Amino acid sequence: MAKKKEEGPSLIETFSEFKETKNIDRTTMVGVLEESFRSVIAKLFGSDENFDVIVNPDKGDFEIYRNREIVADSDVTDPNKQVSLSEAHAIDPDYEIGEELTETIDFAKFGRRAILTLRQTLASKILELENDSIFNKYKNREGEVISAEVYQVWKNEILLVDDENNELLLPKTGQIPGDFYHKGDTVRAVIDKVDNSNGKPKIYLSRTSPLFMQRLLEAEVPEIADGLITIRRIARIPGERAKIAVESYDDRIDPVGACVGVKGSRIHGIVRELQGENIDVVNYTSNMQLFIQRALSPARISSINMDEENKRAEVFLQPEEVSLAIGKGGLNIKLASMLTEYTIDVFREVANGEETEDIYLDEFSDEIDQWVIDAIKSIGLDTARAVLNAPREMLIEKADLEESTVDEVLRILKAEFEEE
C-alpha cells in the first residue's frame, strides 16, 4: 500500500501566526511579507525580478504573478523569464511573440520545503523587527519609572513582564536589601539600561539607582516637578540611608521643608517604597565648606581644614559630636563624602591646655608592624596624636584594619603619652 504523502504546514497557518504580531505596523508588515515571499521565490527560480507579489495580512491571503515574455519556441533561453509561443497559445490562441504572459503562481504547489523556508524567513524577519521595536521603545524611556509583574525569581535576577508581555530584568545589584518578591507581585523600578549587543534587547531595571529616588521625589513633590526645586545631588546606601541636596531659586520656598512635607508626609511614602531607607534632605550650596557641614548633619562641626585641590577635608569636632558625624556603621560620614565628593576625615578637637607634643608613627615600628603603620599613614595620619584624635570607626574602615589591630595600636599610643 502506498504511503500517504505528509501534508506540509499550510500557508493559512503561516499568515494567522504573524498577522496579529505586536509592535509592527501594517505597512511594515506588508513589506516584511512581500520581502519574505520574494526571498523564497528567488531561491526557487533564481530571480524574483519578473514576479508581482500582493499580500493582504488583514485577510490572511496573498497573490503571486509571474510575468514572462512570449518568444519563438526555439528562442527560449530562460524559462523563468521567457515562454514559448506554443505554450502561450495553449493558454490563449490570440497571444503573439513579444507580448507578456502573466500567470498566477500557486505557491502551495512548491511543496513542504518551500513553505517551511517561507515560515522560517518570516519568523526571522519579524523577530528582528520586534526586537528593534522593543529596543527603540525602551531606549527612549531610560530613566523612567515603570511598574511590572514578577514572572520568575532567580538567584541573581528577577524576570518581570510589562503590560505587553515584554521581558524585563531586575538584577540582584538593582534590588534593595530587604526586597523579596513572589511570582505575580508588582514591582516599581527605574529603567536603568537597555542593551542590544546580541540583537536581542535586554531591559535592565534598578531600585538602587539614585535616579529611582529622584523620580520618586519628582512624583511626590510638586515643586520639583514644576521646576521650583532642583535636586542637585543624591547619595544612597540602598535600604539603609540616603542624603539628598536640594536647592530653590525662589526665596519664598523652603526646599527641605517642601520635600519632607508636613510631619514628613511627602517623604514617608518614599521611605516605605525603599524598604525603610532613611532619607536626610539638606540645602545645597556651592560653598563647599558650608556644604560639608550640612552634609555631616546632625553633627555640629568646630572647624574644617580644606584641601580643594585634592578634594579632602579635615573636620574637627567636640568629642561628643564625633559619633554623630561618623554615624551608625560609618554611614553618615560615608554618605557625606559621597554627597560632597570630598574625602572627609574626622578628628576630635584638642582641648585647651592638652599636651600638644607629638610623635611620628614610624617611631613605633618596634611595637607596631610596619604594614599597619603604612596602612594608617595612607589615610593621612602620620603622628600618634593624629591617630588618637581620629575616631576608632574611621581607622577600622578607611585603613581597612581589623578591630583588634586598631585597638592594639590605640593601646600602644595611649600608653606612650601616659608614661610621659
Do the Cβ atoms of 291 and 245 come closer than 8 Å?
yes
- How far is residue 236 from each of residues 172, 194, 221, 256, 343, measured CA to CA in Å? 16, 23, 19, 17, 16
Q: How far is CA 259 from the centre of its chain?
A: 26
C-alpha span between 99 and 49 (Å, rounded): 17
For residue 260, what is its C-alpha cell? 519632607
C-alpha span between 64 and 11 (Å, rounded): 13
Residue 388, C-beta contacts closer than 8 angstroms, at least 6 positions apart: 410, 413, 414, 417
Residue 278, C-beta contacts closer than 8 angstroms, at least 6 positions apart: 240, 241, 242, 271
Return the pLDDT at 21. Answer: 57
- Eight-class DSSP state of 93: T
Produce one character per residue of 356-373: b if its CB has 16 or more CB atoms within 10 Å, e if not.
eeeeebeebeeebeeebb
C-alpha closest to that of 410 among 395, 379, 388, 378:
388
Q: How far is CA 168 from the centre of its chain?
A: 10
C-alpha span between 244 and 208 (Å, rounded): 14
The structural architecture, per CATH, of the domain 11-135 is 2-Layer Sandwich (3.30)
C-alpha span between 361 and 412 (Å, rounded): 11
Return the pLDDT at 12. Answer: 52
Return the pLDDT at 2. Answer: 36
Show pLDDT as tens, one digit a residue, over the chain (420 residues).
333 333 334 555 555 555 555 556 677 777 878 888 888 888 888 888 999 988 776 666 788 899 999 999 889 999 989 999 999 999 889 889 999 999 888 877 777 887 788 888 877 887 888 888 889 889 999 999 999 999 999 999 999 999 888 999 999 999 999 899 999 999 999 999 999 877 789 999 999 999 999 999 999 999 998 999 999 999 999 999 999 999 998 888 999 999 998 888 899 989 999 999 999 999 999 999 999 999 998 888 888 999 999 999 988 888 788 888 888 878 899 999 999 999 988 887 765 545 556 787 887 888 889 998 888 888 878 788 888 888 888 888 888 888 899 899 898 888 877 755
Return the pLDDT at 16. Answer: 56
CATH of domain 141-208: 2.40.50.140
Task: Spell out the domain ranges in the chain.
Answer: 11-135, 141-208, 211-302+319-337, 361-419
C-alpha span between 41 and 64 (Å, rounded): 10
C-alpha span between 88 and 83 (Å, rounded): 7
Return the pLDDT at 1. Answer: 36
Class at the top of the CATH hierarchy for domain 211-302+319-337: alpha beta
Neighbours of 245 (CB within 10 A): 23
C-alpha closest to that of 342 among 316, 375, 376, 308:
308
Helix (H) or strand (E) holding 167: strand 167-171
Residue 137, C-beta contacts closer than 8 angstroms, at least 6 positions apart: 23
C-alpha span between 275 and 364 (Å, rounded): 47
One-character DSSP codes across 114-159: HHHHHHHHHHHHHHHHHHHHHHHHHHTTTT-EEEEEEEEE-SSEEE
Considering the entire predicted model, what is its pTM? 0.67
Return the pLDDT at 190. Answer: 96
Residue 232, C-beta contacts closer than 8 angstroms, at least 6 positions apart: 245, 246, 247, 284
Do the Cβ atoms of 192 and 204 come closer than 8 Å?
yes
Per DSSP bridges, beta strands 82-84 and 61-71 are parallel
Helix (H) or strand (E) holding 389: helix 384-389
Return the pLDDT at 19. Answer: 54
Cis peptide before 298 (omega within 30 of 0): yes
361-419: CATH homologous superfamily? 5' to 3' exonuclease, C-terminal subdomain (1.10.150.20)
